[in-house]
Chain A
Amino acid sequence: MTPAKRRSVIALSLCAAAVIAIVVLGVALSGNVVYYRTVSEAVKSRPSQGDARFRLAGAVVPGSSTETRRGVDFEVTDGKKTVEVTHVGDLPTLFDDKVPVVCEGHWAADGSFDSDRIMIRHGNNYTPPKVKFGQ
């Protein structure tokens, strides 16, 4: 092979490798690019979802959570739809009323959501605790 030919072969194979890498990345990520579904989206896709796993995101409805022997029952809402969640497992330290959560699990037969993993989705605001003067 002449040097010029060899160079073009190397350049082409590098480009091919880059394209393959991008495709692999795209395929690998496609299922996860949408990391979670909002409560409304999840409710809408419930018929086609079956009992396949997905992540459900919403805020904890204040006063809805009750501890159970194996975890906690609570409701999540996105302001439009609300879903009952039966969680079995540990709770993140920051779990509380109104906190945005991402629950991993699947739909149960009775229309509630069976979760076995809860993650807190915090925002990008950082402030010191506010001092409250009796409300």
Chain B
Amino acid sequence: MSATTPSTTERLLNPWVRRVFGAAALASLVALVVVGLFVAPPDAVQGDAQRIMYVHVPAAWIAYVAFGVTSITSLLYLWPRTRSLVWDRIAGASAELGVVFTGLTLVLGSIWGRPVWGVWWAWDARLVTTAVLFFLYVGYLALRRVPAATDVRAKRSAIAALIAFVDVPIVHFSVTWWRTLHQQGTVFNEKLDAEIHGTMALALWLGVLAFTVLYVYLLDLRYRLEALDEDRETRELDAAIADRVRGAVGVTS
């Protein structure tokens, strides 16, 4: 690999596509603010507090998606025929976003819970399993930072990612498996008997769309940063080896 020309694996999307995603994310977020705050009516029971749903649900959705992507790319890394550091980088970048969006889900849920439930937090199955999900993937990210040879680190992160993913279906079905304070799903509802007003549903879907586009955009940015980081490390190592070979060990202060 030449040190001056960037390799093709240094980015996921070509710059033109990335800009389109960036602009689309911005536009849909603006539309979400308008529809979510002004166009959609307040809820009959919860009033304006219910509007938090338009960001809380999409944040949880993206957390699922991000951890799903981490699992799939981890599998692709573990499968010998498809093994490539590209998958490992996507897995790491996506898990980082997943942790951010899980944290956002917890915080937004808490802000929603205080005016509606009357409490910031409840030790029910949905909330606890979501908090566990957050810490599982914080652990995964910590494991990625444990120094080791690249392939060793990538392999053990991939295995950890697959173990952590077990919690995702548990979080999702916790509200149907157990009795919780948290309400059941409205969109992915088993009996499909939940009722949501048309404009409210529109705001919710707009939120899901905006967060999904934002996720793709951020994933690409994070991936490029990771690739550049790795590239820099390789160059520094090459330079250090070259120094040693010349017998002039550079002492940096």
Contacts and interface: CB of A to CB of B under 8 A. Distances in A.
B234 interface: no
Contacts of B180: 35
A94 interface: yes
Contact of A126 (B115, B128, B160, B200): B200
B249 interface: no
A119 B183 contact: no
Interface residues on A, range: 20 to 34
B1 interface: no
A117 B50 CA distance: 22
A119 B117 contact: yes
A117 B123 CA distance: 14
Contact of A124 (B42, B178, B189): B189
Interface in B169-226: 178-181, 183-186, 189, 194-197, 200
Contacts of B129: 25, 29
Nearest to A90: B118
A94 B45 contact: yes
Interface in B106-153: 115-119, 122-125, 128-129, 132
Contact of B178 (A25, A34, A122, A129): A34
B116 A120 contact: yes
Contacts of A118: 118
Contacts of B50: 126
Contacts of B31: none
A32 B126 CA distance: 11
B46 interface: yes
B43 interface: yes
A130 B124 contact: no
Contacts of A33: 125, 178-179
B43 A121 contact: no
Interface in A1-46: 10-11, 14, 18, 22, 25, 28-29, 32-36
B41 interface: yes
Given A92-B117, A126-B53, A129-B44, A35 B195 contact: no
Contact of B42 (A35, A117, A128, A130): A128
Contacts of A68: none
A102 interface: yes
Contacts of A120: 116-118
Given A18-B163, A25-B132, A127-B195, A122 B116 contact: yes
Contact of A128 (B115, B183, B197): B197
Given A32-B124, A36-B179, 11 more contacts: A11-B159, A35-B178, A93-B118, A94-B116, A94-B118, A122-B45, A124-B185, A126-B195, A126-B196, A128-B42, A128-B44
Interface of B: 41-46, 50, 53, 115-119, 122-125, 128-129, 132, 156, 159-160, 163, 166, 178-181, 183-186, 189, 194-197, 200
Closest 5 A/B residue pairs (Cβ): A92-B118, A128-B41, A125-B195, A124-B183, A35-B124
7 contacts: A14-B159, A29-B125, A35-B123, A35-B180, A92-B118, A119-B118, A126-B196
